[in-house]
Structure formats: C-alpha cells, structure tokens
Amino acid sequence: MERKQVKELLQKVKSESRKRNFIQTVDLIINLKNLDLKKSDDQQDYFLQLKHTLGRKIKVCALIGPELKDAAEGEVDTVIMVSEFDKYAKDPKLAKKLASEHDYFIGQANIMPKIATAFGRVLGSRGKMPNPKVGCVVPPNANLAPLYEKLQTTIRIFAKKSPVIHLAIGKEDMDEKELVDNFMTIYDSIMHHLPNSNNNIKSIILKLTMGAPVRVK
C-alpha cells in the first residue's frame, strides 16, 4: 500500500463524515482470513511503537511499593501504593473505575503477586495487567520517565479470539502526515507478523467514530 493511497483514503473518510461537536477518532479495522486462532502462530498479540501519538494523552497508573514512590510521583498520572491494594481488592467498582481511567499499568516486579491478587480479576479481563512485553514490569529502582514517554506512542495489536484488528490511528484534527505515518507503521507491522502477509487480509476499513466506513480497495 502506498502513502498516496492512504492520504486519499483519509481525505475521503473526512469528506464523507458529517461534522460532529467533538473531535472524532480515526479508526482502522482490519478483517483477517485464513487463520486458525486456536494456533499461537496465527494469533496476533504484540505491542508496537508509532512515530506519533494518537492525538490524546495516554494515561498511566503505577502499582508500586515504597522503593518507587519518589520515582513515580510526578512521572505518571496515578500512583497506587501497595498499602492501598486492599482497598481496591475489597471494592471491585473502585478497581473497575481505575481500569477504565487508565490505558497502561506499570507494576513493580517484586510485588507482582500482590498486584495479581488485588487487581488481576479486573485488569486481566481488560488486558491491562502490567505487561513485561512493553516494559511495564519494572525493578524497584526503575526510572519511569522514559517508559512513560514511550507509552504515549505505544499501541497493542491484538487478534486472538476474533479475526479482527480494530484500533485507533489518531484524531481527525491531527496533521495528515502524522495520520498517514501511523497508518503505514501499523499496516507494515501487521503485514510482517501475519504468516501469509496480505493473503491473510480479508478487508481494510477506515472510519471516523461516527462516520461511515470506507473500504480500502
């Protein structure tokens, strides 16, 4: 797929969408085929760093012990100390609210069992448990600033239960070049990871949040 084609497609998506009173997200939907998702080789589950942000702040919560308190405060959006874990374990609504308000969770490595006990049921069902694949399980002496910055441009490519990859590439008011860059980074990565590249692609669709889907030819 060429950048020119993606640019023209984005222009079409915007022109065919009615103006809304909020800034819409640009969604990319890739329908897959000829995959057996019961096989791990055919499943898609990995993290990818984009060239640009998604046009919004990615919120990060740190679940930590006292060793990381000073390093975390001022670097992430929310800090939950191990001494507070019981409060969330006893109140699922509080834990669910925390999960819905944050995109990523950082966990201190030596207290991961306590994190799993207190938050595993809620975060696990949402795919938000601290994940070592993206560097979110950290030692007690970690510097969280570079990780926080990295997470601002990190997305998860996921297709394990259903043959569909659905994610945002940015906001409609972002620079067109940035949206094209994000699209191409995602597209090229997925082509590389699929066992049979574009032969595993059934269809590719772009749309705005409330807009009509536009299919890539």
CATH number at residue 133: 3.40.50.790
Domain boundary among 125, 143, 161: 143
Question: Which spans in 43-127 are helix H?
Answer: 69-72, 85-90, 92-101, 112-125
**Residue 217 pLDDT more than 80?**
no
Res. 66 pLDDT band, cuts 50 70 90: very high
The pLDDT of residue 56 is: 95
Nearest Cα to Cα of residue 176 among 58, 55, 57: 55
Would residue 148 count as lying in a domain? no
pLDDT tens digit sequence for 6-52: 999 999 999 988 889 999 999 999 999 999 999 999 999 999 999 99
Calpha distance 121→124 (Å, rounded) = 5
How far, CA to CA in Å, does 114 sit from each of 92, 97, 119? Answer: 16, 19, 8
Would residue 45 count as lying in a domain? yes
Q: Which two tokens stand for residue 118?
A: 């207190």
Q: Domain range for residue 163?
A: 3-54+153-215
0.95 cut: is pTM over it?
Answer: no
**Residue 62 pLDDT more than 80?**
yes
Asked if residue 165 lies in contact with residue 201, where contact means CB atoms within 8 angstroms, the answer is no
Do residues 73 and 128 both lie within one domain? yes
Do residues 168 and 210 both lie within one domain? yes
Instruction: Round the average pLDDT of the chain to a whole number and report it.
Output: 95
Eight-state DSSP code of residue 28 = E
Would residue 211 count as lying in a domain? yes
**To the nearest whole percent, how much of the chain has pLDDT over 70?**
100
Average pLDDT over residues 192-200: 94
Tokens 């597209």 locate to 187
Do residues 117 and 66 both lie within one domain? yes
Domain boundary among 109, 143, 177: 143
pLDDT tens digit sequence for 129-174: 999 999 999 999 999 999 999 999 999 999 999 999 999 999 999 9
Q: Which two tokens stand for residue 104?
A: 């990523």
Would residue 90 count as lying in a domain? yes
**Number of other CB atoms surrounding residue 128 within 10 Å:** 20
User: For the chain, how many structural domains are there in total?
Assistant: 2
Calpha distance 141→66 (Å, rounded) = 11
Do residues 64 and 138 both lie within one domain? yes
